[in-house]
Amino acid sequence: MRLGHAILALGLLAVAPAAEVSAGPVPVVERSFVIAIDPGHGGDNGGCVAFDGAIHEKDLTLAMAHELQASLLRRLPHARVVLTRAGDETVTLADRVARANAAGADLLLSLHANASGHEPQTGFETYVLDLGLDRREAARSARVEDGAEPTRARALAMVRELALSSHRGRAAGFARRVQQEQAQRFPERIDRGVKQAGFDVLMGAEMPAVLFEAGFLDHPEEGRRLLDSGQRALVVDGLTEAIVDYYREHARER
């Protein structure tokens, strides 16, 4: 987290530099908006295996990421949509977050599919980072960066925590919207809701970040649905709508 970024994100810098102040109406400049899509797994890490024993989660998440990218660019032609991996490559969780941070992403959406093991389960769910873990991470990274300078470390930790809380609030709102859009399109499927967890791919992200579990790939019925491009288009459409909604609500205000 860069300090300046954190302060801007919190809207604490209300006064523009004198050189930029001009008389008359202020033109509305559409801000650039960057969305990072993270296709879960990849390369050596296949993720879970589909009901048919052939297709891996990494294939589904990559296909869905490409479909979502195309769909978003149709709705938000001025946005930039970056993928944390473009092909079947092995990428560490830290590198995925680093790529989203380097792209200056406004939002990070990590795509996954579930497997239930013994008890067959179905449904879609969205995860946000657990706030307790968030805070510990904030305090830890402040300590690491500042070493023996306790006052500055405390101040940094506070700014970080404020920024993280703001990101987390937005992430939670976005996660609820993701669930709503899916529930609208799939009223017959189980809405498993928004959950909290300490996923590494959400940790260290300098923007609101959520992880979406599209459904249970190892369940014969739901797995078939996820592998069907027509059905998947509906899933992608729901994600697109949630992101467009997020853009309308947050992207132009900063």
- Using CB under 5 A as the criterion, which residues of the chain lie in contact with Zn ion when the complex forms? 40, 47, 112
**Residue 56's beta-bridge partner residues?**
49
Provide the minimum distance between the beta carbon of 5 and Zn ion in the complex, in angstroms, as a whole number: 29
User: Which of 112, 160 has the CB closer to Zn ion?
Assistant: 112
Residue 137 and residue 168: Cα distance in Å, rounded?
13
78 exposure class (CB count in 10 Å sphere: 0-12, 13-18, 19+): exposed
**Residue 209's beta-bridge partner residues?**
108
User: Which of 199, 247 has the CB closer to Zn ion?
Assistant: 199
Provide the minimum distance between the beta carbon of 47 and Zn ion in the complex, in angstroms, as a whole number: 4
Residue 59 and residue 232: Cα distance in Å, rounded?
13
> What is the enclosing helix (H) or strand (E) of 216?
strand 209-216
Contacts of 33 (CB under 8 A, 6+ apart): 76, 78, 79, 80, 106, 247, 251
User: Which of 76, 111 has the CB closer to Zn ion?
Assistant: 111
Ranked by CB distance to Zn ion, the top (closest) residue is 112
Provide the minimum distance between the beta carbon of 204 and Zn ion in the complex, in angstroms, as a whole number: 18
User: Which of 201, 236 has the CB closer to Zn ion?
Assistant: 201
Provide the minimum distance between the beta carbon of 57 and Zn ion in the complex, in angstroms, as a whole number: 5
User: Which of 72, 93 has the CB closer to Zn ion?
Assistant: 93
Neighbours of 56 (CB within 10 A): 20
Provide the minimum distance between the beta carbon of 45 and Zn ion in the complex, in angstroms, as a whole number: 9
User: Which of 45, 180 has the CB closer to Zn ion?
Assistant: 45
Contacts of 179 (CB under 8 A, 6+ apart): 124, 125, 126, 191, 193, 194
User: Which of 78, 195 has the CB closer to Zn ion?
Assistant: 195
Residue 43 and residue 64: Cα distance in Å, rounded?
16
Residue 186 and residue 148: Cα distance in Å, rounded?
54
Provide the minimum distance between the beta carbon of 167 and Zn ion in the complex, in angstroms, as a whole number: 22
Provide the minimum distance between the beta carbon of 41 and Zn ion in the complex, in angstroms, as a whole number: 6
Residue 75 and residue 91: Cα distance in Å, rounded?
29
